[in-house]
Structure 1
């Protein structure tokens, strides 16, 4: 998530006219020019006798409550990105529908990535306070559905709904902090955003595993969101209202959104996840339905590209994707490398606990604790990368070094087997953590510096789509690889012994399945070895990500961050 940048998303209340209205068509260029004119006037004729120190609109205990509510929201957003990583086995023990296993992890980021761009537009059109509170409501509804779900299908729907609300929580944090803080203090508050989101993301598996192993059950991994928001929600009502277009009716504001682009991009991501979830599990890869879904997904992607390029049923200013960034080699590479870092980070977070559940018989909390070396090192390098970037400046080096660490660590994880020494696995985790930590966040600093001021908000949204989209694609692909390879290998081993396909799918769901319990010890050991090998195969995706990051990072300009010039706006 964005950390230390001041997104230009948020038009400051000072930009409103004296009568309380504002021009809805006014670009951030005008705000920037007026601010520069004001500073020049102060330099020419400073009036220090009457100068008053600038203060926030909200101070004291109310401001503390507002910050607590906002940071709590971003923590829960990060938490829900990964909390499902260590409760999958417990959920499948409840419902037994292993064919939909991948949806437990992909549902939440799918809802986020499909809506984060239109929600970002909404914050620039509607009252930011009420858009944020609406996002909190949607997030809580999704969490309630997940906790009370009677079946796997309802759980998936709840995860998607929560993801939609989560996108609003994240963007609300960025906008409301930018609107309600002073320029000199804003970087510190923005820096806290990345730290809090990261803490939630890396603690998700630990908290989820703790609930899954307790008498509370896995359902409280979702109910906990309702409890926390129930306590802190009153604090959010102290947020000052800010309407960037107070004189414009809601109907006209709704028309400003690119609804066609929103529907098309949501369709692309949804179909991509559906085909990878069903392919090889519910349907054969050669099945006409699988092929048809691939074709339809490709067609919708082409339609989205055409609609955005030619601004069909929208305008260049209102289209949902900042297509002019694709004219910049740097912005394209930053997008790809950010997706690579997200791929590596979330592959480890989701599959290291599963690896230890099978190879060492760990329960939920024990397997989550195995992530601690990864979590500690990842957190350190995410924070250190921001500091080092400010001191060193040459951002290309971070992608080269980070890509190399990903490539080495993932290659070693690819060789892991059931009997591999635990210390070795920890070491391989750490190598990936170094690489992912170096590249996970710095695009949020580099990207906005490469665009004009009026495009800073779009640059942050662009990088966030890369990060969440990379997570979604990684989980969809890794889920398909794991399900297909594990089932193929186990089927050859167990079907001659009279076990059905349904029983084999159940075995893939968790090491505590009834099939594993009843297998002869030698057959069980062989089965576990095959499953661990299939988990290791997933790291081919991280190897590819590391190689892509290393190669494309070498194509970045050899320049310091603050010596670079913005690309021309299109």
Structure 2
């Protein structure tokens, strides 16, 4: 990576580089005056060097790189060099001096992992607590809103937080997101009514929208380039652990101190994260944070586009939440929501076009080949994974008669596969320097694993349901974090927040979209299969009984037929995951073959 000169404080300047036939040589940077910085911004000049000779060499190298332009597709290095010349990125020397190590790095990493764990935990911990909550508030009709209120605000605000991380202090935006999440958790824990709980869930969702992407942005400014895939793997692994720990902890709290502790548990751990990030993480000094008028800042944040996007996502998810369950798809409410979604999507695209570089999703970012491919990959992998993580436990409950707690334990092979492969994939990417092989490994393993899961039958033995889950989990784990590594790799460092937020949104939206689709597929298949295998049983009763209560609520003479119908409905629903896992190959095909070794920090913020 070249030699680095130490500097006492960050200046927000990057190195000049020698781009030659795929290799990148980092030239040591020196202090730059304001006059030189202005020249850089307008002329893309090189950084002033200690001697006249080295100055001429660097100027020559920089001008050669710029003169080559980016006429060939995917010439990201030249684009990155332009950003460096503009003084938007930290210099190599500055970044080397800024990276924490030892106990400080350990504490920051632990705090980030803990915050991501809490956000992921909040997605699933409520699942096993909902029966008690509905008993407490007598609010069976509000069940759908306990999950969707959180999901709505999370999806709608993820891209906005990407803009916030770009133009405001990374540290304080992240701390604000944690604080909002904590406030929402406190409201949920103390909720006197079902309505208050829904409000608290929505507030928590606002905070969660900025936490996961913020953790990855902090990693980009905390860890040297070549080690970032490994640390990204740690964070991805925490998400997998939380996905399975949620139902287990929810059941334990509900049976023990009470369901309110499903939310109170966030408070002490969130406080630890707040304190560690506040005292140990030093937010980088970036040109994009320079003080400007409120009008200019509002323009930079694309508030109009953000407002349209939020409403767009809300009406889309409302249509998916209501359609086929609360209201038939032909109901005017569903038609109105879907129509608004289509119109507002067009309006949002038009706004993004005219906002140019200040757009919430700049075309310069989304049109970059690897960013587009990684976003698609995240969308498909998220859709496939969330369908199975929600519906496999139901198979254990309905078919094997497991409790909610036991079904969580039986689902461990899938989640352990995700965790192990996330960490192993990150470590191997760091060691090998390439992330693209893991896309293909992910596509192959997850597609085969998801396909094997659809072969489940009522009497499937443990050797199959353990092995098939583990195979699918390994596939997801090897690929899930690679989209984040890729986007950060091919974008200049100051665009990493927007790129990271985009990938996180696509992953979350994919999950939200296809979980809703799966709900409709399952209900329709179950209703159609019950009359065939359990004639005399009202399908609507089976749908509303719940998976854990089949043996208690369904007469023994009908139970085998109901379980058979349940198995068909579930395995047919899992074909959604097979399709999405297979379609992820499109992302793998178009990913550029980049290496995280020998590249400049900031140019590849993996």
Q: What is the TM-score normalised by the length of structure 1?
A: 0.79
CA distance in structure 2 between the partners assigned to 1:365 and 1:547 by the alignment: 31
CA distance in structure 2 between the partners assigned to 1:53 and 1:295 by the alignment: 48
Deviations 1:256-314 (A, max 9, x none): 311222122222322222112211112112223322322221111122122212x2xxx
Residue aligned with 2:357, SS: coil
Matched, 1:224 2:262: no
Alpha-carbon shift at residue 150 of structure 1 (Å): 5.1
Matching residue of 1:534:
569
Structure 1 residues 362 and 384, CA gap change in structure 2 (3 angstroms): same
Matching residue of 1:474:
514
The one of 390, 400, 418 aligned to 1:378: 418
Alpha-carbon shift at residue 369 of structure 1 (Å): 0.8
Alpha-carbon shift at residue 370 of structure 1 (Å): 0.9
Residue aligned with 1:14, SS: coil
- Counterparts of 1:91-170 in structure 2, within 5 Å, are 91=133, 101-149=143-191, 153-170=195-212
Structure 1 residues 496 and 215, CA gap change in structure 2 (3 angstroms): same
CA distance in structure 2 between the partners assigned to 1:183 and 1:390 by the alignment: 9
Greater mean deviation of Cα atoms: 413-422 or 171-180: 171-180
Alpha-carbon shift at residue 120 of structure 1 (Å): 1.9
The one of 390, 394, 410 aligned to 2:450: 410
Structure 1 residues 336 and 59, CA gap change in structure 2 (3 angstroms): closer
Give the count of matched residue pairs: 532
The one of 551, 568, 584 aligned to 1:549: 584
Deviations 1:40-96 (A, max 9, x none): 869959xxxxx9997559899887766554443232123223334544555555567
Alpha-carbon shift at residue 229 of structure 1 (Å): 2.7
Alpha-carbon shift at residue 548 of structure 1 (Å): 0.7
Matching residue of 1:207:
249
CA distance in structure 1 between the partners assigned to 2:227 and 2:589 by the alignment: 35
Matching residue of 2:82:
none
Deviations 1:433-483 (A, max 9, x none): 122122111122223333455544433222222222222223222233233
Structure 1 residues 177 and 394, CA gap change in structure 2 (3 angstroms): closer
Alpha-carbon shift at residue 529 of structure 1 (Å): 2.9
Matched, 1:75 2:112: no
Which has the higher relative contact order, 1 or 2, with Cα contacts under 8 A spaced 6 or more apart? 1
- Counterparts of 1:379-458 in structure 2, within 5 Å, are 379-390=419-430, 395-458=435-498
Which runs of 5 or more structure 1 residues have no equivalent in the other structure? Answer: 1-11, 17-21, 46-50
Matching residue of 2:336:
292
The one of 40, 47, 57 aligned to 1:37: 47
Matched, 1:282 2:326: yes
Alpha-carbon shift at residue 429 of structure 1 (Å): 1.0
CA distance in structure 1 between the partners assigned to 2:231 and 2:444 by the alignment: 32
Deviations 1:473-517 (A, max 9, x none): 2322223323343345458888955x694x44431x34227xx52
Structure 1 residues 61 and 30, CA gap change in structure 2 (3 angstroms): farther
Alpha-carbon shift at residue 320 of structure 1 (Å): 0.3
Alpha-carbon shift at residue 539 of structure 1 (Å): 0.9
Matching residue of 2:554:
519
CA distance in structure 1 between the partners assigned to 2:564 and 2:98 by the alignment: 60
Matching residue of 1:506:
544
CA contact (8 A) 1:88 1:101 kept: yes
CA distance in structure 2 between the partners assigned to 1:318 and 1:145 by the alignment: 35
Q: What is the TM-score normalised by the length of structure 2?
A: 0.75
The one of 12, 16, 19 aligned to 1:15: 12
Residue aligned with 2:256, SS: coil
Matching residue of 1:364:
404
CA contact (8 A) 1:62 1:235 kept: no
CA distance in structure 2 between the partners assigned to 1:377 and 1:116 by the alignment: 27
Alpha-carbon shift at residue 237 of structure 1 (Å): 4.0
Residue aligned with 1:218, SS: coil
Structure 1 residues 398 and 190, CA gap change in structure 2 (3 angstroms): closer
Structure 1 residues 71 and 289, CA gap change in structure 2 (3 angstroms): closer
The one of 301, 304, 310 aligned to 1:266: 310
Matching residue of 1:9:
none
CA distance in structure 1 between the partners assigned to 2:325 and 2:451 by the alignment: 27
Structure 1 residues 518 and 65, CA gap change in structure 2 (3 angstroms): closer
Structure 1 residues 67 and 259, CA gap change in structure 2 (3 angstroms): same
CA distance in structure 2 between the partners assigned to 1:337 and 1:64 by the alignment: 30
Residue aligned with 1:166, SS: helix
